[in-house]
Structure 1
Amino acid sequence: MQTSPLICLVEDEVDLAKLMVEYLNASNFQTIVFNRGDEAHRWLQQNEPALILLDLMLPGMDGLEICKHQRQHSAVPIIMMTAKVEEIDRLLGLELGADDYVCKPFSAREVVARVKAVLRRSLHTPQHSVVSAPVVVDEQSMSLRVFNQVVELTNVEFQLFSLLYSQPGRIFSRQYILDNIYQDYRIVGDRTVDGHIKKLRKKLNDANDQVELIRSVYGAGYKYEAP
């Protein structure tokens, strides 16, 4: 039995969201609904629906930011819903990557028709044309994906990886790391840095053991090497 496509609907107008769910369900789509942008963003970091229906103005995190974050690691189709006509050029711009848009007020039937049309187009898009970044760092949600695998990091581990990741190939000395990562480096030392690096490497290796992202440079420090 074929599973119905899952539509992620992000809309803060509760009544409008309920109406859209009714129409989508009637067209044999599954739906998951979020009324806040930040909650939708967290869910999308761990899940990939068939399509995202995304409002522009949202509490917590606006639709433009969600769209930008999605395009860093996913090619899932996105239809933006907006009442701000002046934003349309940006919504469809290459820098954001939305697939379509609808202007409020809109017909629920029209939205469903656009969802079907965008999904038809995406099914005919060659899969090899979609390129996903092997390593995705999201500073806002403090999340890390390595070859599409979520890597759970502590706050210090995330700050450490982000520092190395910010300048691939640069060697960061232990002292530089101490000065920039630890709030009070007087109570930690080189062994603390080495210990966190060891734990970080293990987690990265668990996600993908074919590449070594963090390398030691004897007598100098550590560096990040892009895969």
Structure 2
Amino acid sequence: MARILVVEDEALTAEVLAALLQQEGHQVAVGRTGGEALRLAREQDPEVILLDIGLPDLSGVEVCRRLREFSGAEILMLTARRQEADKVVGLDAGADDYITKPYSPAELLARIRAALRRRCRSQGQVRRLGNVTLDLTGRRVWVGEAEVELSPREFDVLAALARRPGEALSRQALLDQVWGPGYVGDDKVVDVYIASLRRKLGDNPDRPRLIQTVRGYGYRLAAGAAE
């Protein structure tokens, strides 16, 4: 999952946010002041920063400006202020999104997922496969809005197909790329991993739209699925 920095001076709110994010599998650090936020951002290189606008030492807007001097993290500003002018100031300071309190946990998590997808796309290592998003660098996969947990080998099989959409790859080619050329064993192991991938990605095994079977040979990723 992602590295997330929560910047919130209210202890209870910070604790609740951290617990929510940790339940989703994220690595969470908490800063209670602007100065602490800047230090933690330098030390831990978070992917997403949840930044409260009202901090005891520096304003959230000023912290955002300073973060943008060295951090490429997605910054989501949290505030109770509803005026459009306040939002404009935050966005102009470098924030990527603005969430107005009170917000639901579901909305916050959805905004974070969207932020992570934006970050992946900006790094140029993302494949869109129909409703499946594949982050080759971060080794993460989403089906729609939901992140899907794949084993390392499942991910490698999917990545091998995604790098060559529309091209049929033999079982032996997949074995060489994923298991290594020294693998000794039954090539039907590829079929087991394909079946697992189809199940996790919601690809109907009877009429697969994403990972297609090339009878007697291997598999290919449907050419029309890749973007």
**TM-score (ref. length: structure 2):** 0.50
Instruction: Normalising by structure 1, report the TM-score.
Output: 0.50
